Structure 1
Amino acid sequence: MPPRDALAAAALETLPITVAVLDDDGEILLTNESWRAFEGDELSTDHVGVNYVATAAMDRDDDDHAARAVEGIEAILAGDRETFSMEYPCHSPQQKRWFLMRASRFSADGEMRVSVIHLDITDRKLAEIAAEASAEQVREEHRALEHVLHRVDGLVRDVTDAAVGAGTRDEIERQVCQRLVDTEPYVLAWIGRVDVATQRITPQTWAGHDDIPLEDDELVLESEDDRSHPAVQALEAGDSHVIQDLESFEAADRWWPTCAGEHVQSVAAIPLEYGDVTYGVLVLFAAESGVFDGRELPVLESLAGTVSTALNAIETQQMLTTETVVELEVAIEDPSLFVTSLADTLEAMITYRGLTYDESGTPLAFFHVDEIDGAVDVATNIEGVEQVTVVTEYDDGLLLELALVDGLVPALATHGAVIQRFDVDGRVADLTLELPNGQSARATYNMITERYDRVELLSYQESNRPAKTPRDVSAQLDERLTDRQQMALQKAYYADYFEWPRDVSGEELAASMGVSRSTFHQHLRAAQRKLLEELFAADPTSEG
């Protein structure tokens, strides 16, 4: 389980409301990104460590709102009340603004704390002012906006607490679903996960009324039978999908007959995404039609973002401790893929040797080409290849170093994928990747299928790492090797410099790095020493 404080801070950073946590003296201990980014706040440049109550009290004689805020927070600090809220204006020379402040008392590790949030309610206030001519319109708008405020104040707080307090993914999903159905008019919520191999969406966790059964059938992405399902549409589009009136939606009976009756009138499906990684989909049903309007849906999407952030934090922690990895193997048949273009033009076989990065972070991929004539010219003219270097020449071909500024290899790196194999024989590229978890595997597979026309999933399997892996050694070396030392070591290895007899000289490798022979050997010797120290568990006394 990741540290609660770290997970709470990560979740708070995503909230669209300003949040601060005070100690029992009123001093600010923690703020979120919205608080720090708020323009015009006098605490915006020096918030942590500032006494919030004392700062507000400086204006209490001239500002009734400041006086009320100080009174309310002081009552909470004194233990006379648990919560306090108030609305106040905070106008700037450029615009008029109003906010809702809410302070709540809680305890953490036996210490009393106070959370303070400020919610922008300017839209509601402006709507009330503009609607003064129509009392009924004002009342209706007020009720609608109060409804949204209630959800923001309740749902955001409770769902965030559920996400922050949970220790596993299952627990987060279960508590979030339960909290949602505890709020009217929601009657059923479920979270589905996607199997990357079968492309099936399986309802993993659900909560709702006992007389509303969960559907039994799995849903399949890109299936004509299931395409109308909002969960399928949300995942395929990467955006929320809403049906405001199920009774008028003909396809509802095909994908969930039991929920098209009196219990359920509208449905929203919201993808759970963090960056490029999709964790699943949240599907929420309401007993009233038209619930998921322009006010309701943004709140739910913000909640989904908070849940995704919590899921990512847990997955990140698990990646650091688990011994399980996912191996994904695909075949790509597309002439636009740079290795396929190279192999097709030269009528040659391409074999992947390895990957490193230069000082600017540009990937440098090493490929053996079993054809010498014209290889450099062809590779240079391929889109996405910035520079081509001949590392060494063999009897049966060349070892090329390709600096890749765009395309598949840089994209794989952003998904945390490690290339195990990337070979081309004919018109089909065989790509084998190692990924940290199923979510990364699914996101990577989706990225590949979106880029290329014909992609076939050859295998998908989870396996355990051995007790000590090359990746473990590599992680330690990354902290000790300089960029030049790592590049010298990797180039020498990929070019078979350590074979005997050597097919490449130190001068050639030095030239490919743009350094002198002596400098190259200095980097190489330092890297070799650190590698051996790591392998033999030596206690290094020098960083070279």
Structure 2
Amino acid sequence: MATGDALAAAALETLPITVAVLDGDGEILLTNRAWREFEADETTADHVGHNYVATAAMDADDDEHAKRAVEGLESVLEGDRDAFSMEYPCHSPDEKRWFMMRAGRFTVDGAVRVTVIHLDITDRKLAEIAAEESAEQVREEHRALEHVLERVDGLVREVTDAAVGAGSRDEIERRVCRRLADTDPYVLAWIGRVDVTTRRISPREWAGRDDVPLEDDDLVLDSDETHPAVRALEAGEPYVIQDLAAFEDADRWWPTGADDHYRSVAAIPLTYGDVTYGVLALFAADPDVFDERELPILESLAETVSTALNAIEARRMLTTETVVELEATIEDPSLFVAELADALSSTVIYRGLTYDEGGTPLAFFRVETADPDRAVDAAADLEAVEAASVLTEYEDSVVLELALGNGIVTALADHGAVIQRLDADDRVLDLALELPNGQAARSAYDLLDERYDRVELRSYHETDQPTRTPRDLQSTIETKLTDRQQAALRKAYYADYFDWPRGVSGEELAESMNVSRSTFHQHLRAAQRKLLEELFAGDPTSEA
């Protein structure tokens, strides 16, 4: 069996780290294979019998790391410390390398001995350097972001003040464009509106260089899909061209990429909820301006402008007495009214709309058919219809009550539309809507155009209303009637309960509401009383 010294020496040879053992004077007594192979790769092997400390001291004057190594080794040899370690670079012509040297003191039979180990820490150092570079990059990006925020902070305040402080839509657009065009690096800003009937984007306000025109012609949605303003409105999200000089279609609209004054452009839709007020086009003199830091700021500004436009529009609605009337023809077999007309080979006439106590839309349609059961079955088979029943029967037609899911009727209501006509004949739908403003009208029309195959806008115009409009009366009544009272009144009206002879009995209407006959009449009489009170309000002959 090998002696202890022989076993230790043999084990030392197998270690993958470089190891040397020094005597009390710093002379090398023993090295392992890893040490010898490494030294042989670098210079003439410096092994047993050489003084390791003296050799390192030769480089101490010119090498800070060698100086530290000598001082540390001497302190261990002299007994001032038991161990010493340091990290140092040892680069070769082909690669970067780092090592950690560790010296440890021990004794053998009273004689001082020191082990010197060199451990390759290159992978760790490279990882640390990469982490530091990454951290520095983060710090640089943070500094750049702080600069951007500092630059735009004033812009945000100014644009917000301009938007909120303006008294009209034209003034908002004008002041916002001027603020943006006066802010580096932007050189031109314009805001365009969309005409519902012509589908044209018309730049209404702009600010920038005075020696150039704005746009030679109006832009038409769907006709020039290369224009960033068109793309932004069609997609409903910002569209950016970072370098107009490299954009081959830029010469199709002004300003072109060939003009050095305009190198990048961003177009941002101005939307509030489902209503689109237009589009903001912003040009910069340099390429790559609208990056991931710049664009969110502009989107936030666009939201501020849209909110201000909405507030102006809401104020205008409260002080004016106009509504938008829109009529359209829709050809699409998937629309449930057209489906019903096709299934029954009949004309379907819209009568009205109400909601049950759970908020489900209840639409009423008169269908020309002598077979009520067939009409109910055909309606119940429609995907958009949750339930169908006959409200009134006539000799050659029926009034159907259809409980609808979240379809086109609720979507139009969300856009502020009041359905005046929703009739179908031979798979063609005749639609008439009343909307509170032009933005709501465009939004509703876009909704129809996106959902259905063929939508033709037949008419669009604003209509003056009398001082007290039917809509005013309806809104007032709806606030006074309970849901049950309103449902009873609407059902009775749509089912021709007030005609003579009556088209339906009170018992039948009560059954459709799942209430007793007496309860139905109680709801109906209460609704009628409130209706008459509102109708005769202010009449000196009426009771208070």
Q: Normalising by the residue count of structure 2, what TM-score does the alignment of the two structures yield?
A: 0.73
1:274 alignment counterpart: 272
CA offset at residue 434 of structure 1?
0.5
Question: Could you tell me which residue of structure 2 aligns to residue 168 of structure 1?
Answer: 168
Matched, 1:141 2:145: no
- Match for 2:197: what amino acid? A
Q: Deviations over 1:128-184 (max 9, x none)?
A: x99854898577535521232124422222211111111211111111111111110
Give 2:333's aligned residue. 335
| Separation in structure 1 between the aligned mates of residue 335 and residue 150 of structure 2, nearest angstrom | 52
- Specify whether residues 410 and 251 from structure 1 end up closer, same or farther in structure 2 by C-alpha distance, changes over 3 A only: same
* Aligned length in residues: 412
Q: Secondary structure of 2:291's partner?
A: coil
Question: 1:436–1:135: structure 2 CA closer, same or farther, 3 Å change rule?
Answer: closer
Letter in 1 for 2:510: A
Q: 1:337-376 deviations in whole A, cap 9, x for unaligned?
A: 0010000010010001011111111111100001142000
Alignment-mate amino acid for residue 461 of structure 2: Q
AA of the residue aligned to 1:338:
F
Which residue, out of 251, 254, 278, partners 1:253? 251
- Rounded to whole Å, the distance in 2 between the matches of 1:539 and 1:148 is 65
CA distance in 1, matches of 2:146, 2:498: 72
Q: Are the aligned partners of 1:131 and 1:138 in contact in 2 as well (CA < 8 Å)?
A: no
Q: Report the secondary structure of 1:421's partner residue.
A: strand
Q: What code does the residue aligned with 2:369 have?
A: E
2:315 is aligned to 317
Please say which of residues 429-438 and 156-165 is displaced more in the overlay. 156-165
Distance 1:208 1:375, change over 3 A: same
Give the letter aligned to residue 164 of structure 2. Answer: V
Q: Distance in 2 between matches of 1:214 and 1:339?
A: 46
**Closer, same or farther: CA 166–132 of 1 in aligned 2, 3 Å:** farther
Q: How does 1:273-292 map to 2 (within 5 A)?
A: 273-292=271-290
Distance in 2 (alpha carbons) for counterparts of 1:331 and 1:263: 46
Query: 1:199 maps to what in 2?
Result: 199
C-alpha distance in structure 2 between counterparts of 1:515 and 1:140, whole Å: 72
Q: Distance in 2 between the 1:130 and 1:308 partners?
A: 45
Give the letter aligned to residue 162 of structure 2. A
Which amino acid is the alignment partner of residue 390 of structure 2?
V
Q: How far apart are the structure 2 equivalents of 1:522 and 1:452?
A: 43
Contact 1:227 1:233 in 2 (8 A): yes
TM-score (norm 1): 0.73
Aligned counterparts, 1:422-461, within 5 A: 422-461=422-461
Aligned to 2:532: 532
Native 8 Å contact 1:331 1:431 kept in 2? yes
Q: C-alpha separation between the residues in 1 aligned to 2:381 and 2:481?
A: 33
Q: CA deviation at 1:467?
A: 2.2
Question: What is the aligned counterpart of 2:369 among 352, 371, 376?
Answer: 371
| Distance apart, 1:285 and its partner CA | 0.3
Structure 1: how far apart are the matches of 2:418 and 2:360? 16
Higher RCO structure (Cα 8 Å, ≥6 apart):
1
* 2:255–2:262 CA contact under 8 A, matched in 1: no
What is the CA–CA distance in structure 2 between the aligned matches of 1:360 and 1:539, rounded to whole Å?
Answer: 37
What CA distance in whole angstroms lies between the structure 2 residues aligned with 1:144 and 1:188?
A: 24
Q: Distance in 2 between matches of 1:329 and 1:134?
A: 60
Q: Give deviations 1:262-302, integer Å, cap 9, x for gaps.
A: 11110000000111111100000001110000110010001
Q: CA deviation at 1:381?
A: 0.8
Query: d(CA) in 2 for partners of 1:141 and 1:280?
Result: 33
Indicate which of 242, 259, 265 corresponds to 2:263.
265
The superposition leaves residues 180-227 of structure 1 with CA deviations (integer Å, 9 ceiling, x where unpaired) of 11110100000000001000000011111213431131000111xx21
Q: Which residue pairs with 2:499 in the alignment?
A: 499
SS at match of 2:189: strand
Query: Residues 151 and 388 from structure 1, CA distance in 2 versus in 1: closer, same or farther, beyond 3 angstroms?
Result: farther
CA distance in 2: counterparts of 1:363 and 1:138, whole angstroms:
54
Distance 1:358 1:250 in 2: 57
- The structure with the larger Rg is 2
The residue type equivalent to 2:311 in the other structure is A
**Residue aligned with 1:308, SS:** helix
Q: For 2:206, what is the secondary structure of its paired residue?
A: strand
**CA distance in structure 2 between the partners assigned to 1:500 and 1:331 by the alignment:** 34
Q: Distance in 2 between matches of 1:431 and 1:319?
A: 24
Give the Å deviation of 1:260.
3.7
Contact residue 247 and residue 257 of structure 2 kept, 8 A? no
Distance 2:139 2:494 in 1: 73
Give the residue type in structure 2 aligned to 1:146.
E
Structure 1 residues 387 and 178, CA, compared in 2 at 3 Å: closer, same or farther? same
**Which residue matches 2:11?**
none
Partners of 1:533 and 1:539 within 8 A in 2: no
Q: How far 1:317 moved relative to its partner?
A: 2.0
Q: For the residues of structure 2 that align with 1:143 and 1:238, how far apart are their CA atoms?
A: 32
Instruction: Determine helix, strand or coil for the equivalent of 1:339.
Output: helix
Identity of aligned residues (%): 73
Structure 1 residue 258, shift from structure 2 partner: 5.6
- Name stretches of at least 5 consecutive residues in structure 2 with no aligned partner: 1-128
Deviation digits for residues 291-345 of structure 1 (CA, Å, limit 9, x no counterpart): 0001100100011011111111221222222211111111111111001000001
Counterpart secondary structure, 2:525: helix
| Structure 1 pair 182–131 and aligned structure 2 pair: CA distance change class (3 A) | farther
User: Judging changes above 3 Å, is the alpha-carbon distance between structure 1 residues 245 and 259 closer, same or farther for their aligned structure 2 residues?
Assistant: closer
SS in 1 for 2:197: coil
Confirm or deny: 8 A CA contact 1:329 1:458 kept in the other structure: yes
Residue 360 of structure 1 corresponds to which residue in structure 2?
Answer: 358
**In the alignment, does 2:175 pair up with 1:156?**
no
Alignment counterpart, residue 344 of structure 2, candidates 334, 346, 365: 346
What aligned pairs does 1:473-492 form with structure 2 within 5 A after superposition? 473-492=473-492
Q: Is residue 398 of structure 1 aligned with residue 398 of structure 2?
A: yes
Residue 212 of structure 1 contacts residue 258 of structure 1 at CA under 8 Å; is this kept in 2? Answer: no
Secondary structure class of the residue paired with 1:270: strand
Q: How far apart in 2 are the matches of 1:130 and 1:321? A: 64
C-alpha separation between the residues in 2 aligned to 1:130 and 1:281? 44
In structure 2, do the counterparts of structure 1 residues 372 and 150 end up closer, same or farther at CA, with 3 Å as the change threshold? Answer: farther
Give 1:307's aligned residue: 305
Ranges in structure 1 where 5+ consecutive residues have no aligned partner: 1-128
Please tell me whether the aligned partners of residues 506 and 517 of structure 1 are also in contact (alpha carbons under 8 angstroms): yes
Partner amino acid for 1:378?
A
Runs of 4+ in 1 over 6 A off after TM superposition: none
Partner of 1:184: 184
User: Aligned partners of 2:380 and 2:536: how far apart in 1?
Assistant: 42
**Inter-partner Cα distance in structure 1 for 2:270 and 2:130:** 37
Deviation at 1:414, TM superposition (A): 0.5
Offset at 1:465?
Answer: 1.3
Contact kept, 8 Å, 2:421 with 2:431, in 1: the verdict is yes
- For residues 395 and 258 of structure 1, the distance between their equivalents in structure 2, rounded to whole angstroms, comes to 69
Match of 1:229 among 227, 235, 249: 227
- Shift in CA distance, 490/136, structure 1 to aligned 2, threshold 3 Å: closer
